[in-house]
Amino acid sequence: MAHELETLANGQTAFASANVSAWHRLGQITEGCMTAEEAMKQAWLGGWNVRKIALSGMEVTENGITRIDSPDKWMTVRTNPQTGATEYLGVVGDDYTCVQNEEVAEVLNLLVDESGAHFETAGSMRGGKSVFVTMKLPEAMKVAGVDDIDLYLAATTSHDGTASLRVDATPVRIVCANTQRMAYKRSKGSYTFRHTSNVKTKISEAREAIGLVWKHFTAFEAEAEAEKMINETLTMGEFEKIVAQVWPLADDASDVTKNSAKQRMSTLRYLIRDADTQKAIKGTRWAGYQAITEYLDHFAPAKSDEVRATRALTSAGTDIKGRAFELLTV
């Protein structure tokens, strides 16, 4: 798959992480917690000046070139943070309002003030078309009083008109350092600020969004899908059947494919049965889910660290995690 993190002209990756490289040495690693402004600076997200400019097209015929203006569509562009060049981002409607990365930081700063969280990661993807910032909350949640789940707030937005500014509440398992982007289907821990003419007014309502997020964190703990899974046993035979459904093997599969499936199953058996990361939850359906996510993020074959990093950071593997979650919660 294509690498979605933006690589700048100076060779640096537009990505920053606090303390440790959550995605295998990509981007800039800071010593200690980041403020919103530091996250913007370290990830090259500051000073973009995202703006709309007039959009027109050129029709070339045998009679010459005709310029055709678009009265209801605009082009979004930015100033490249490293070269200073003006760059294309997308095409948007007349009522679309640009939201600067600094304004995203303004929302997140309000979240920090409320929760005591610190900024963990920030980055640019798809050539600046979308950006993200994640914050780690100060206290983990325990599933069934046993398994620690770190809680993150992830803020994402696009500058090409494909997505609104959104804040999501995300549970992440601390011992694996997973950044599981797969949203639990029943989780509603998010708040959206739309790119409309009153977007800046909505941004000022961030504290109300925080209250909504905290309610949803409580709902996640109350609904306790994970707690149900941690209280239900899972035999090795049941786990192997689920793995076979997650990674179905065709009857006419090649020897190479069959061998890869055997190696994957061997690794998964180790993760669910012997790995220290599953020690506190061994023998449960929750351990089965965590073994599969840990395999995808840390053990599945990858051509390079960058490929593995991108797979952990982006949507690759999300469908597999979602399928595994569904099968294990039946």
Predicted confidence (pLDDT) per residue in 214-243, tens digit: 777 776 666 567 778 888 999 999 999 999
* Structure tokens, 12: 């640096």
CA distance 180 to 330: 20
Helix axes 255-273, 236-246, angle to 10 degrees: 140
Q: Are the C-beta atoms of residues 43 and 27 closer than 8 Å to each other?
A: yes
The pLDDT mean for the chain works out to: 80
pLDDT of residue 48: 97
Same domain, 13 and 108: yes
Note whether 117 and 200 are same-domain residues: yes
Range of the domain at 168: 1-223
> Which residue type, as a one-letter code, is found at position 113?
D
CA 41 from chain centre, in angstroms, equals 20
Model confidence at 309, pLDDT cuts 50, 70, 90, reads low
Shared domain check, 271 and 215: no
182 and 311 both lie in a single domain = no
Same domain assignment for residues 41 and 64:
yes
Instruction: Report which residue type is found at 31.
Output: E
Q: Write down the pLDDT at residue 255.
A: 94
Task: Verify that 188 and 255 share a domain, yes or no.
Answer: no
The number of domains in the chain is 2
What distance in Å separates the CA atoms of residue 254 and residue 65, rounded to the nearest whole number?
56
Alpha carbon 219 to its chain centroid, in Å, reads 21
**Last-in-domain residue among 198, 223, 248:** 223
Do residues 105 and 250 share a domain?
no
Amino acid at position 317, single letter: G
The per-residue pLDDT for range 12-70, each reduced to its tens digit, is: 878 777 765 544 456 677 767 788 888 899 999 999 999 999 999 999 999 999 999 99
Domain boundary among 223, 258, 285: 223
Residues 21 and 139 in one domain: yes
Same domain? For 218 and 234 the reply is no
Write down which residue in 223, 252, 285 finishes a domain: 223
**Residues sharing a CB contact under 8 Å with residue 170, sequence separation 6 or more, in sequence order:** 134, 151, 152, 153, 154, 179, 180, 181, 183, 189
pTM, full prediction:
0.69
Together in a domain, 199 and 285: no
Residue that has been written with the tokens 């100076």 in this structure: 10
Residues 214, 314 within the same domain: no
Whether 15 and 130 map to the same domain: the answer is yes
Q: Which residue in this structure is represented by tokens 């007014």?
A: 201
